[in-house]
């Protein structure tokens, strides 16, 4: 029983890490787009 609970915990941890990387990559992409748009606006002005 103890081993099974450990395996399920590590599985949950892996899922959390994958979703965390997924959201982090989305955040980085959005950040880059915002900086890029601000850069374009500054050039136009």
Distance (Å, rounded) from C-alpha 43 to C-alpha 45?
A: 5
Distance (Å, rounded) from C-alpha 40 to C-alpha 45?
A: 9
> Quick one: CA dihedral 9, 11, 17, 19, positive or negative?
negative
| In the predicted structure, residue 7 carries a pLDDT above the cut 60 | no
Q: Where do the H-state alpha helices sit in 1-45?
A: 2-44
| pLDDT at residue 36 in the model | 95
| In the predicted structure, residue 1 carries a pLDDT above the cut 50 | no
- Report pLDDT digits (tens) over 14-44: 666 777 888 999 999 999 999 999 999 888 7
Distance (Å, rounded) from C-alpha 37 to C-alpha 45?
A: 12
pTM of the model: 0.53
| pLDDT at residue 12 in the model | 60
């Amino acid at each position: 029983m103890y081993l099974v609970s450990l395996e399920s915990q590590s599985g949950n941890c892996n899922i959390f890490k994958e979703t965390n990387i997924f959201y982090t990559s989305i955040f980085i992409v959005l950040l880059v787009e915002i900086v890029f748009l601000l850069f374009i606006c500054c050039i136009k002005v």
